[in-house]
């Protein structure tokens, strides 16, 4: 579905420093298994504030594992002060790049490092403040606003790739778009119509999204998808090729097909696989 660099593949297939330091100097836990990605980073820091060792345990995709592995290689041997300056962009550069849909994996690594260092210093990280926009992944308006401004994000896809915001139920897409327009000075930009689509209009938009955005990604992995039926907000599809037998087909339907259709067509669409 996505193109990965050789270095990403190498760190995914042969990850470095997997495990957990038994008596760590600092620990950083981020993410949630229920949301699809979780990382635990443990550090061994000596009396001179040098990171002697770093280990990780990651539950997630290839990019999450590769980002975590790369991070440990980047920080071992560095001082705490040097490690504090490492950003997610540094992790991405170290790996030779990540698909934009997977940038959030490097952000997760940076957050885990910040938490582990804070734990080492005995600093309590205050819980997030501000209005939660994406309730699926606990992302605030301020976080989205900052990411859009600092990284020139121009679309909901960009925000989802960077922060994961909007990658779940899709209910927050309109609010994310409003934030993007406001930060980028596009407040006069025509907003997505809230008027009800006719069933024919909905089917045409679904077919267009399948052809333009979804099928090309699936075909890269030897798969395909066919629209079977549209009944109200329920979209019935049939996976084909490699996707039909893939053990992660349900994940593909939810995290890629449904998320993309909610973004491109209507936020309340539910995608189901045909049993016939």
Question: pLDDT by residue (tens digit) across 50-69?
Answer: 999 999 999 988 999 999 99
- Return the CATH class of domain 6-121: alpha beta
User: How do the residues of the chain divide into helix, strand and coil, expressed in percent and rounded to 5?
Assistant: 45, 20, 35
**DSSP code string of 217-234:** HHHTTTEEEEEEEEETTE
What is the spatial distance between Cα 148 and Cα 191, in angstroms, rounded to a whole number? 18
Any catalytic annotation for residue 172? no
Any catalytic annotation for residue 246? no
Q: What is the pLDDT of residues 72-93, one digit of tens each?
A: 999 999 999 999 999 999 999 9
Q: Which CATH number fits domain 132-183: 3.30.1300.10, 3.40.50.300, 1.10.10.1100, 3.40.640.10?
A: 1.10.10.1100
Lowest mean pLDDT among 9-13, 118-122, 181-185, 246-250: 246-250
> What is the helix (H) or strand (E) element at residue 84, kind and residue range?
helix 80-84
**DSSP code string of 175-202:** HHHHHHHHHTT-TTSPPPP-SPPPHHHH
Answer yes or no: CATH 2.60.120.260 is held by domain 199-273: no
Instruction: Give pTM, 2 decimals.
Output: 0.56
From the CB of residue 39, how many other CB atoms can be counted at a distance below 10 Å? 25
Domain boundaries, given as residue ranges, for the chain:
6-121, 132-183, 199-273
Q: 61, 105, 172, 243: which is the annotated catalytic residue?
A: 105
């Amino acid at each position: 579905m996505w193109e990965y660099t050789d270095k990403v593949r190498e760190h995914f297939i042969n990850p470095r420093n997997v495990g957990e330091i038994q008596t760590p100097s600092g620990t950083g836990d981020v993410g949630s298994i229920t949301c699809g990605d979780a990382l635990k980073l443990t550090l061994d820091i000596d009396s001179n504030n040098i990171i002697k060792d770093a280990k990780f345990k990651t539950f997630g995709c290839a990019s999450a594992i590769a980002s975590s592995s790369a991070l440990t290689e980047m920080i071992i041997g560095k001082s705490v002060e040097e490690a504090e300056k490492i950003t997610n962009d540094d992790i991405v550069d170290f790996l030779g790049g990540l698909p934009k849909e997977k940038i959030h994996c490097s952000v997760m690594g940076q957050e885990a490092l910040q938490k582990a260092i804070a734990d080492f210093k005995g600093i309590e990280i205050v819980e997030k403040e501000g209005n939660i926009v994406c309730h699926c992944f606990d992302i605030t308006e301020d976080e989205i606003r900052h990411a859009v401004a600092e990284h020139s994000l121009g679309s909901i896809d960009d925000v989802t790739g960077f922060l994961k915001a909007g990658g779940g139920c899709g209910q927050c897409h309109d609010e994310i778009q409003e934030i993007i327009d406001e930060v980028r000075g596009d407040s006069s930009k025509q907003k997505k119509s809230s008027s009800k689509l006719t069933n024919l209009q909905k089917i045409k938009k679904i077919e267009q999204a399948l052809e333009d955005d979804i099928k090309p990604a699936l075909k890269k992995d030897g798969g395909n998808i066919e629209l079977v039926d549209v009944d109200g907000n329920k979209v019935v599809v049939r996976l084909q090729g490699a996707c039909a037998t893939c053990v992660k087909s349900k994940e593909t339907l939810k995290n890629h097909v449904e998320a993309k259709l909610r973004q491109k067509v209507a936020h309340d669409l539910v995608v189901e696989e045909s049993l016939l």
